[in-house]
Structure formats: C-alpha cells, structure tokens
Homo-oligomer: A and B are copies of this chain.
Amino acid sequence: MEFLLKKRDESSGARAGVIKTGRGEIETPVFMPVGTQATVKTLSPKELDEIGARIVLANTYHLYLRPGHALIRELGGLHKFMSWPGSILTDSGGFQVFSLSDLRVVRREGVVFRSHLDGSEHFISPEIAVEIQRALDSDIVMTLDQCVGYPVDLPLARDAMENTLDWAARSKTAWAGLAPPPSRALFGIVQGSTYEQLRRHCAKALVQMDFDGYAVGGLSVGEPKSATSEMTAITLEELPEQKPRYLMGVGFPEDIIQAVSQGVDMFDCVMPTRNARNGTVFTSMGKLVVRNVEYARDLRPLDEECDCYTCKTFSRAYVRHLFQAGELLGPRLATLHSLRFFFRMMGGMRKSILDGRFSNWSREFLEKYESSRQ
C-alpha cells in the first residue's frame, strides 16, 4: 500500500491524497460503506462501483462466525466471494466483540466471548485477528484493540489502552512473521477514551511501531461532539503526515467535514445505510424522512441535485409508497441514493481541497445542508 499526499489545505488541516492498494487507487478523503456480512446491505457490487465506492469495510467478527474465514479462504478470499474487485478494509473484530457479544472476558492474551448468533464460545487474540483477516485477504488489516464505552474511569481507560498497545505490538510481530510476506497494509488503532495523556501516549507508541496507517478508535461511542473533535485533534498531532488517518465510525456529513478539516483521510459508518433502510435519506438540503405523509404526492426526486438511479428514476411519492407497503425495493433505492450522496459529498470536498477552496466549499455545503429541516 502506498499513500500519496496530493495537497494540504492552507487554512485548515484538510488533505487530499491517494491510497494505492493492489486493487486500485482510492482518492482521499474517502468514505467506506459498511459491508458487514460480505455485502453492503441491499446493493450489488456493480451498483457500489457505479455510485463511486472504491473501498468497502467488512466485519471480521461477523465473517469469522458466519460463514467462517476458513471457508472464505478456501473459496478464494473475500473479494472473489462477494465479487468486489475494489479494495477491502476489515476491522479487527474488537469493536463487535465489545458491542455485540455476551460474556466477554478480556485477558492479556486476548478476548473470550460468546457469539451473538448461537452463544458458542470463542477466543480471539491479536495473532488470531491477523490470521483471520489474512484468510479474508483484505487489503487493509486492522489490529485487535480493546474498546471501552463512554464515560469510563481513567484506570479502566488506561488498562484498555495498554492492552491495545500490547496487542498492536503482537499484531505487528504476527504480521511480520507471515509467509509469504503480506503486500497488504496493517493499521494501528489509537485508544485512550477522552483522556488526552492516554491518547498522546497511545499514538506515540503506535507511531514508534511504524504502522502503514493509523486509526482513531474509541470515539463516536456516546461522548459529546466537542470531545470527539478534541480527541481527534490531539491524536492527529501525534501522527505522521505521510500516513493515512482513519476516524472509525464517523459519521454524519457535518462530522466528516469537521474531521477532514482536522486532517482525517478515511471514514466509515453504518449510519447512512442503516438510516436509509429505515426510510431516512441524506440530501443536499439535509435529512429527509421519506415515510412522512407530506411526500405522498411529491413528484420530486429524493434530492434534486443527485445523479443516482433512484433520483433519476423515481419520485418521493413512489419511494414513500415502497416503505409504506414494506417493499424491499424501498430500502434498496434509499441506500443507493444515500451512499451516492456521501460519495458526491466526499468528491466535492476533495476537489475543493485540490482547488484551495475547502473552507468556502464546507461553508456553502453546510449552509445549504442545514438550511431547511425537511
């Protein structure tokens, strides 16, 4: 993996770059749609490509449990399995172990947990997380980290951060020991809750270990937005310019713009796709709850500025009808649109950075986006 920094904004920390993986080029800042179970829910890989996705995120925890990483390896890896020719980033499973499974026991060696599917007991260590992601053949592998909720006491946050650092070092060793040596990338994850000293310590120690990229983890877990922003800023101060920076689990358009202005390059979030499946889509004029009765006779597209198949083809009235009638085409059309909105937003943002007008772009975008509470 290579990361080329193309342009740095003069009035903010925003950066435009390119990540090159064995699967192609990814322009940054980038939004990665979430394909938890080897599918971005409701969409085909052809549609993902058409609307501008170049990298998707898949969940190690889910794929390890079902259908199993050994099966995916046997069938030729995750790209072939899901017919996705673009890049894939897999999380380490850490977040899901702490948010989805039961009866977890964290030990220095790793974490014991029960499957949310059938209650069966499993053990994942940093080495096993690397091994699973290797079997999936993902392009960007994340180290296993220990996540904590918010708020959390300093001693607990410190313990989790220290476990995370220990696991990161072991992940690096496991990674280096793989044969043949992987041409993929390994990212470290900064933890430390909302404690500045923990964040700085964790980031510095990870940078010492020299990862291919760095993620800001453990945010977007319930803390105030000011804390998210402050912790992101503090963490980024400790990270090298020449490596990609990934803010995990973020987020809303306004949060992404804020984080890009701070120097973040990569994002993922289930929110646009999950909201879309529930009938709330993103538009250039803000969020739109398409189920609302006010759209029952509305012949306009979801977003009059959008170029996606949904907006070029269907009215709000029809999409609303699909949701009212419980038709699967509704979530599908809404997902297609909301992701296209995110990709167009990221593309506009990147162009504005390259053109030296990111501040103007973000002000104009947000003015319009927040102008009408539809």
Contact = CB atoms under 8 A, between A and B. Distances in A.
Interface of A: 37-39, 41-46, 62, 66-67, 71, 74-76, 81-83, 296-297, 299, 309, 313-315, 317-318, 321-322, 324-325, 327-329, 331-333
16 contacts: A39-B322, A39-B329, A41-B329, A42-B332, A43-B329, A44-B309, A46-B309, A66-B324, A67-B296, A67-B324, A75-B317, A81-B317, A81-B318, A82-B318, A83-B318, A328-B328
Contact of A67 (B39, B45, B313, B321): B321
Contacts of A74: 297
A333 B42 CA distance: 10
B39 A327 contact: yes
Contacts of A318: 38, 81-83
A78 to B, nearest CB: 10
Given A75-B297, A297-B74, A327 B37 contact: yes
Nearest to A328: B42
Contacts of A42: 328-329, 332
Contacts of A75: 297, 299, 315, 317
B66 A314 contact: no
Contacts of A322: 37, 39
A197 to B, nearest CB: 42
A298 to B, nearest CB: 9
B38 A321 contact: yes
A214 to B, nearest CB: 31
Most chain B CB inside 10 Å of its own CB: which residue of A322, A324, A325: A325
A39 B327 CA distance: 8
A75 to B, nearest CB: 6
A327 B40 CA distance: 9
A313 B329 CA distance: 21
A256 to B, nearest CB: 26
Contacts of A67: 296, 317, 321, 324-325
A95 to B, nearest CB: 19
A344 to B, nearest CB: 20
